[in-house]
């Protein structure tokens, strides 16, 4: 079976699933060159199918995922659109409700949503005008403008989790969820959940062909990305991102799920608040925009968590009880909910006689870095508490599993993931490389194929780097054209690129490394990387300069998987997707050692291809099986996708050498 997965919010993407295997993932940002680009279009669909060697005639079903509060926008409705369609229910096993009554019915809901076009258009215009999201709307050459005000564009409104058992919303405090789950399910009633209870049937029209499918709720798609991508037979799953719990647009905070065989079962809203909290503190520290939380994670080791309080660890109801009542509180005015430690931090600074109650935009000042350290500590504690809670739910409900999957944008927080691996009761913790919204298209397709239609699962290679190399296939002719166009450069071919690149690193050169299909998700994993010698302390400064990043931001190591334990501790032995933080145990690699001796490790196995050969060659020269690795892109740009983009970045940066699929490029006059 061939399932098309489409994600239409920010980090838009299109996936093609063939007999349970991800055949292609096309991320819109890699095509528009706008980071976190929104609104998947027919051009993205065509590109994904072409990359998989298929056409729309081959597609059996379509899965579309929701994105928190983003309505669906059809840029060219004559070529691609869908409608809510009760008549398609039988094609996607929809319409049967849980025995313990669900809220509403999907047919009445779909009619209500179809009447909300102008509301959806207003919502999208607000996103277009909002500072954090206004730059995400962009078009490709020849594409109609991605403009929610245009009468040529059609809008379809949506809502998160339209149907669910009412107790899910009623029980918001951490200490309420387990007893409420026991009351709802008994000891195993969760297996009675209908596979048709949570999604909306649709009919899509693509290039004139009508294809049945379903809209899959955001967090259910996140959970499917993780569970089916993990290759685990059973798993507990936590989804967690920047949502705010329940809202007029439906629940957006996070979900607890159980995975068993072919089926994924949503168990309860986890009412997580950590992602929204983390994002607002990033704003307070001057680290604004969608990349702010990632920068905050790098800032936190510089500070002291003096504003953290364990009593503030909880879910939506717990924090609501501690919401400051003072209407003059600065955090209340600026950050919606005044997170308790924010208020405590402001009071502490005031009492100390400091004249800057709002953090300065210099993140290394005491207030900002201590605030970052405090929210990081709180966030880790909350994530760990959620892991303990879902383990209790699994024990109560008779799910015997040693595997926990973490997903959603919050799963990009490597220190939190590592604490869960070290301190929870799960022996295995899996985080997919596309735990952010770029993986939703995959998750929607997985959920439709396996949970709804009971199609057999396929091995995804979860423990390998290769499971992330699913970006667009690059034709040899594209490389040739890019190399031939580099007339201002010296081009060498027929080299042992791994040996030559290792020698360049030893000589202190900073190189770009480009090979094969690109990595999916936000982390560079050796196919689109900037690489440097980790033994040289100044590599940290120089690489940040190449990428035009803040000098204080850390950089990560890539290490041969079989040698990782000799250099790092406190993280899983295999970390192929750079989603766990370890402690550096040697003094030989200062460039990848953060101020607290932490490092965001990628373990490199045989599936990495030439990148592994490069590290092995570097080890033969230096006895160090580690290189510094960061993404091949400029500041504020997506990871490069095509060969000509790699050449353009090389031309416009301070990189010393570019290795481009078997070619070595240097500037004329250099060696």
- 633: domain range? 468-667
Q: How far is CA 157 from the centre of its chain?
A: 24
More confident residue, 165 or 439: 439
Contact 251, 160 (CB under 8 A): yes
Look at residue 340 in the predicted model and tell me its pLDDT.
52
Distance CA(342)–CA(339), nearest Å, equals: 5
Among 536, 514, 504, 478, which residue's Cα sits nearest to residue 617? 504
CATH of residue 18: 3.30.420.40
- Provide the 3-class DSSP secondary structure of residue 241: coil
Look at residue 332 in the predicted model and tell me its pLDDT.
33
Distance CA(622)–CA(599), nearest Å, equals: 20
Beta bridge partners of 259: 235, 264
Tokens read off for 344? 């405590």
Beta bridge partners of 160: 250
Distance CA(556)–CA(629), nearest Å, equals: 6
Tally of structural domains, the chain: 3
- One domain, residues 400 and 324: yes
Looking at residues 225-243, what average pLDDT do you find?
95
Whether 608 shows a pLDDT value over 70: the answer reads yes
Q: Could you tell me if residue 32 is inside a domain?
A: yes
Among 254, 252, 279, 280, which residue's Cα sits nearest to residue 267? 254
Contacts of 231 (CB under 8 A, 6+ apart): 459, 460, 461, 462, 463
Q: Could you tell me if residue 171 is inside a domain?
A: no
Contact 219, 271 (CB under 8 A): no
Q: For strand 568-569 and strand 556-560, is the pairing parallel, antiparallel, or unpaired?
A: unpaired
Instruction: State the CB neighbour count (10 A cutoff) for residue 365.
Output: 17
pLDDT averaged over the chain? Answer: 89
Distance CA(396)–CA(387), nearest Å, equals: 14
- One domain, residues 393 and 456: no
pLDDT digits (tens, 9 = 90+) for 333-386: 333 333 454 555 555 555 555 444 444 557 887 778 888 898 899 899 989 999
Distance CA(88)–CA(540), nearest Å, equals: 55
pLDDT digits (tens, 9 = 90+) for 80-138: 999 998 888 889 986 544 323 344 566 677 778 888 999 999 999 999 988 778 889 99
Element (H, E) at 106: helix 106-114
pLDDT digits (tens, 9 = 90+) for 583-602: 999 999 999 999 999 999 99
Q: For strand 663-667 and strand 657-660, is the pairing parallel, antiparallel, or unpaired?
A: antiparallel
Looking at residues 206-225, what average pLDDT do you find?
96
Look at residue 279 in the predicted model and tell me its pLDDT.
83
CATH of residue 619: 3.90.870.20
- One domain, residues 617 and 576: yes
- One domain, residues 540 and 627: yes
**What are the C-alpha distances in Å from 244 to residues 160, 247, 270, 277?**
12, 7, 11, 9
- One domain, residues 446 and 508: no
Q: Could you tell me if residue 381 is inside a domain?
A: yes
Distance CA(5)–CA(450), nearest Å, equals: 13
Looking at residues 614-634, what average pLDDT do you find?
98
- One domain, residues 483 and 539: yes
Contact 465, 560 (CB under 8 A): no
Whether 325 shows a pLDDT value over 60: the answer reads no
Q: What confidence category does residue 249 fall into, taking pLDDT thresholds of 50, 70 and 90?
A: low
Whether 270 shows a pLDDT value over 60: the answer reads yes
Q: Could you tell me if residue 627 is inside a domain?
A: yes
Q: b or e along 576-598 (b: 16 or more beta carbons within 10 Å of the residue's beta carbon)?
A: bbbbbbbbbeeeebebbbbeeeb
Distance CA(75)–CA(44), nearest Å, equals: 12
Look at residue 153 in the predicted model and tell me its pLDDT.
94
Distance CA(93)–CA(70), nearest Å, equals: 25
Look at residue 397 in the predicted model and tell me its pLDDT.
95
Instruction: State the CB neighbour count (10 A cutoff) for residue 671.
Output: 9
Q: Residue 366 burial by CB count (10 A; 0-12/13-18/19+): exposed, middle or buried? A: middle
Tokens 């071919």 appear where? 493
Among 156, 52, 50, which residue's Cα sits nearest to residue 110? 156
Q: Could you tell me if residue 279 is inside a domain?
A: yes
Among 147, 153, 154, 236, which residue's Cα sits nearest to residue 190? 236
Among 354, 643, 362, which residue's Cα sits nearest to residue 517? 643
Contacts of 617 (CB under 8 A, 6+ apart): 498, 499, 501, 502
Tokens read off for 33? 């060159």
Among 218, 216, 238, 240, which residue's Cα sits nearest to residue 227? 238
Q: For strand 511-514 and strand 657-660, is the pairing parallel, antiparallel, or unpaired?
A: parallel
Helix (DSSP H) and strand (DSSP E) numbers for the chain = 20, 24
Q: Which of 54-68, 349-363, 394-408, 445-459 has the lowest mean pLDDT?
A: 349-363
Look at residue 324 in the predicted model and tell me its pLDDT.
41
Q: Could you tell me if residue 170 is inside a domain?
A: no
Name the CA dihedral angle for 36, 38, 41, 44, rounded to a multiple of 10 degrees: 10
Q: What is the percent of the chain where pLDDT is above 70?
A: 89
- One domain, residues 359 and 488: no
- One domain, residues 139 and 252: no
Report H helices in 130-192: 167-170, 174-185
- Provide the 3-class DSSP secondary structure of residue 400: coil
Contact 68, 669 (CB under 8 A): no
Instruction: State the CB neighbour count (10 A cutoff) for residue 538.
Output: 13
- One domain, residues 61 and 159: yes
Among 7, 1, 2, 88, which residue's Cα sits nearest to residue 443? 7
Distance CA(30)–CA(37), nearest Å, equals: 9
More confident residue, 316 or 319: 316
Q: Could you tell me if residue 41 is inside a domain?
A: yes
pLDDT digits (tens, 9 = 90+) for 424-468: 999 999 999 999 999 999 999 999 999 999 999 999 999 999 999
Q: How far is CA 166 from the centre of its chain?
A: 29
Domain boundary among 411, 431, 451: 431
Beta bridge partners of 81: 205
Look at residue 477 in the predicted model and tell me its pLDDT.
97
**What are the C-alpha distances in Å from 146 to residues 117, 466, 659?**
16, 34, 36
Instruction: State the CB neighbour count (10 A cutoff) for residue 153.
Output: 20
Distance CA(12)–CA(637), nearest Å, equals: 15
- Judged by phi (left if over 0) then psi (alpha if -120 to 50, else beta), residue 48 lies in alpha
Contacts of 108 (CB under 8 A, 6+ apart): none
Q: What are phi and psi of 202, to 5 degrees?
A: -135, 165
Handedness of CA 96, 101, 103, 108 (dihedral sign): positive
- One domain, residues 557 and 652: yes
Looking at residues 242-249, what average pLDDT do you find?
66
Q: Could you tell me if residue 173 is inside a domain?
A: no
Instruction: List for the chain the helix, strand, coil content (%; round to 5).
Output: 40, 20, 40
pLDDT digits (tens, 9 = 90+) for 528-584: 999 999 999 999 999 999 999 999 999 999 999 999 999 999 999 999 999 999 999
Q: What confidence category does residue 318 fall into, taking pLDDT thresholds of 50, 70 and 90?
A: low
Instruction: State the CB neighbour count (10 A cutoff) for residue 42.
Output: 21
Contact 448, 216 (CB under 8 A): yes
- One domain, residues 338 and 260: yes
- One domain, residues 452 and 412: no
Tokens read off for 262? 């072919």
Contact 627, 618 (CB under 8 A): yes
């Amino acid at each position: 079976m061939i399932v098309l997965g489409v994600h239409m919010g920010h980090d838009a993407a299109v996936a093609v699933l063939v007999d349970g295997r991800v055949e292609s993932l096309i991320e819109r940002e890699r095509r528009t060159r706008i980071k976190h680009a929104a609104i998947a279009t027919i051009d993205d669909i065509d590109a994904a199918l072409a990359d998989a060697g298929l056409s729309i005639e081959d597609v059996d079903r379509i899965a579309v995922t929701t994105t928190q509060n983003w309505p669906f926008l059809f840029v060219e409705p004559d070529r691609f659109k869908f409608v809510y369609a009760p008549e398609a229910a039988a094609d996607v096993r929809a319409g049967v409700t849980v025995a313990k009554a669900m809220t509403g019915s999907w047919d009445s809901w779909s009619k209500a949503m179809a009447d909300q076009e102008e509301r959806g258009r207003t919502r999208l215009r607000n996103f277009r005008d909002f500072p954090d999201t206004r730059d995400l709307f962009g078009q490709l050459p020849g594409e109609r403008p991605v403009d929610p005000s245009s009468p040529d564009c059609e809008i379809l409104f949506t809502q998160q989790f339209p149907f669910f058992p009412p107790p899910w919303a009623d029980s918001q405090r951490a200490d309420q969820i387990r007893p409420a789950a026991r009351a709802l399910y008994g000891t195993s009633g969760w297996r009675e959940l209908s596979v048709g209870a949570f999604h909306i049937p649709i009919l899509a029209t693509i290039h004139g062909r009508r294809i049945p499918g379903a809209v899959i709720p955001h967090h259910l798609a996140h959970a499917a990305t993780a569970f089916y991508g993990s290759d685990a037979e059973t798993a507990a799953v936590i989804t967690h991102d920047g949502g705010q719990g329940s809202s007029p647009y439906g629940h957006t905070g996070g979900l607890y799920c159980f995975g068993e065989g072919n089926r994924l079962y949503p168990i309860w809203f986890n009412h997580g608040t950590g992602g929204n909290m983390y994002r607002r503190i990033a704003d307070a520290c001057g680290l604004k925009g969608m990349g702010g939380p990632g920068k905050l994670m790098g800032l936190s080791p510089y500070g002291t968590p003096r504003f953290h309080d364990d009593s503030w660890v909880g879910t939506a109801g717990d924090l609501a009880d501690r919401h400051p009542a003072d209407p003059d509180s600065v955090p209340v005015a600026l950050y919606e909910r005044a997170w308790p430690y924010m208020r405590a931090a402001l009071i502490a600074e005031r009492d100390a006689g400091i004249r800057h109650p709002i953090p300065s935009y210099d993140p290394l000042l005491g207030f900002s870095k201590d605030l970052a350290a405090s929210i990081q500590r709180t966030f880790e504690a909350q994530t760990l508490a959620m892991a303990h809670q879902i383990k209790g739910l699994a024990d109560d409900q008779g799910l015997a599993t040693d595997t926990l999957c973490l997903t959603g944008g919050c799963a990009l927080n490597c220190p939190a993931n590592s604490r869960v691996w070290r301190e929870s009761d799960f022996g295995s913790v899996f985080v997919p490389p596309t735990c952010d919204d770029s993986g939703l298209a995959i998750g929607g397709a997985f959920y439709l194929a396996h949970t709804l239609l009971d199609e057999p699962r396929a091995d995804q290679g979860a423990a390998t780097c290769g499971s992330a190399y699913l970006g667009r296939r690059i034709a040899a002719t594209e490389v040739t054209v890019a190399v031939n166009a580099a007339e201002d450069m010296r081009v060498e071919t027929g080299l042992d690129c791994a040996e030559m690149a290792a020698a360049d690193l030893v000589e202190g050169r900073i190189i770009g490394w480009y090979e094969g299909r690109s990595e999916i998700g936000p982390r560079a994993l050796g196919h689109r990387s900037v690489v440097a010698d980790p033994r040289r302390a100044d590599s940290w400064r120089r690489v940040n300069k190449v990428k035009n990043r803040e000098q204080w931001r850390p950089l990560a190591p890539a290490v041969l998987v079989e040698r990782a334990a000799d250099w790092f501790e406190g993280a899983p032995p295999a970390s192929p997707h750079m989603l766990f933080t370890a402690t550096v145990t040697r003094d030989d690699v200062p460039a990848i050692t953060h101020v607290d001796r932490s490092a965001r490790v990628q373990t490199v196995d045989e599936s990495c291809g030439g990148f592994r050969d490069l590290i092995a060659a570097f080890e033969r020269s230096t006895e160090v099986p580690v290189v510094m690795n960061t993404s091949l892109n400029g500041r504020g740009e997506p990871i490069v996708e095509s060969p000509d983009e790699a050449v353009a970045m090389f031309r416009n940066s301070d990189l010393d050498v570019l290795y481009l699929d078997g070619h070595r490029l240097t500037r004329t006059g250099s060696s």
